[in-house]
């Protein structure tokens, strides 16, 4: 599921490895830890699949050795893969390892898919809760104090998440939020600040055509003398 998280973050723009790891920790630190040891092999695999490409160094000094940092960018295939993962709403989206990543990108997920993921996760936890209750009822007398408390703590955690999911589901059913478009930055494209052309209106002066004063031709009558025959 690290691939899903990386794809989602790269839709926001190109990132180098260190910055990508910081954003992963900020966004998903509550649900999973990300180390360089797992991030870079994942990036290499994504490159081999054609989802990510490593661009030229951005000119900023890197970490040790002061080397420039390689920038990772999303490809067209990567955008398609991210859209596919956003649309997944089956059991794979309900698991502990994947559910939190799906929720992190709910703003870009359509309302129907969000609701299916939330309902699926709640159903999965309700099954887990029933199993914990049955285990406590069956094994309670044979558990030592600390094992029993640990089981109760797990049951309380599941109860809290089920209540939280129910609140989210009710909100989705009453006031669903439309999905936001994915903010994919164009690859290596500098935005063109085109200034509007302030066209000055042409003040065409009317052509003052002077009338031609045609002088009449004074034709003198010809005095034809009669011929004396």
- Whether the CB-CB separation of 118 and 185 falls below 8 Å is answered with no
To the nearest whole number, what is the mean pLDDT of the chain? Answer: 79
Mean pLDDT over residues 157-162, rounded?
A: 96
Q: Is the pLDDT of residue 51 over 90?
A: yes
Is 78 found in the same domain as 122?
A: no
Is 15 found in the same domain as 81?
A: yes
Question: Is the torsion defined by CA of 37, 12, 28, 112 positive or negative?
Answer: negative
Q: Is residue 142 part of a domain?
A: yes
Structure confidence at residue 190 as a pLDDT band (50, 70, 90): very low
Distance in Å from the first CA to the final CA of the chain: 132
Is 31 found in the same domain as 78?
A: yes
Mean pLDDT over residues 14-41, rounded?
A: 81
Q: Pick from 172, 158, 155: which is nearest to 118 by CA?
A: 172
Parallel/antiparallel/unpaired status of strands 52-55 and 15-16: unpaired
Is 54 found in the same domain as 4?
A: yes
In the three-class reduction of DSSP (H, G, I as helix; E, B as strand; rest coil), residue 37 is classed as helix
Q: Is residue 198 part of a domain?
A: no
Is 82 found in the same domain as 3?
A: yes
Please report the pLDDT score of residue 195 as a whole number.
52
Mean pLDDT over residues 83-87, rounded?
A: 94
Mean pLDDT over residues 178-193, rounded?
A: 55
Domain that residue 153 falls in: 111-182
Q: Is residue 79 part of a domain?
A: yes
Is 116 found in the same domain as 75?
A: no
Q: Is residue 219 part of a domain?
A: no
**Residue where a domain stops, chosen among 151, 167, 182:** 182
Give CA–CA dist 55/60, Å, rounded. Answer: 13
Q: Is the pLDDT of residue 182 over 50?
A: yes
Q: Is the pLDDT of residue 152 over 60?
A: yes
Q: Is residue 41 part of a domain?
A: yes
Q: Total domain count for the chain?
A: 2
Of 30 and 109, which is predicted with more confidence? 109
Mean pLDDT over residues 101-121, rounded?
A: 94
Structure confidence at residue 30 as a pLDDT band (50, 70, 90): low
Residue 53 is part of a domain; what is its CATH number?
A: 1.10.10.10
């Amino acid at each position: 599921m690290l691939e899903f998280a990386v794809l989602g973050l790269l839709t926001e723009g190109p990132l180098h490895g260190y910055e990508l790891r910081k954003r992963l920790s900020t966004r998903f630190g509550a649900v999973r830890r990300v180390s360089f040891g797992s991030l870079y092999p994942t990036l290499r695999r994504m490159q081999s699949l054609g989802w990510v490409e490593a661009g030229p160094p951005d000119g900023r000094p890197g970490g040790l050795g002061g080397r420039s940092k390689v920038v990772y960018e999303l490809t067209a295939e990567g955008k398609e893969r991210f859209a596919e993962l956003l649309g997944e709403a089956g059991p794979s989206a309900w698991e502990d390892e994947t559910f939190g990543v799906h929720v992190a990108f709910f703003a870009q997920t359509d309302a129907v898919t969000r609701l299916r993921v939330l309902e699926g996760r709640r159903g999965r936890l309700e099954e887990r809760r029933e199993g914990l209750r049955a285990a406590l009822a069956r094994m309670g007398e044979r558990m030592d104090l600390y094992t029993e408390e640990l089981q109760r703590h797990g049951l309380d955690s599941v109860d809290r998440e089920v209540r939280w999911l129910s609140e989210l589901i009710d909100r989705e059913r009453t006031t669903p939020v439309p999905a936001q478009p994915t903010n994919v930055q164009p690859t290596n494209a500098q935005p063109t600040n085109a200034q509007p052309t302030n066209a000055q209106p042409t003040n065409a002066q009317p052509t003052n055509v002077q009338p031609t004063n045609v002088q009449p031709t004074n034709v003198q009558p010809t005095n034809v003398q009669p011929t004396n025959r």
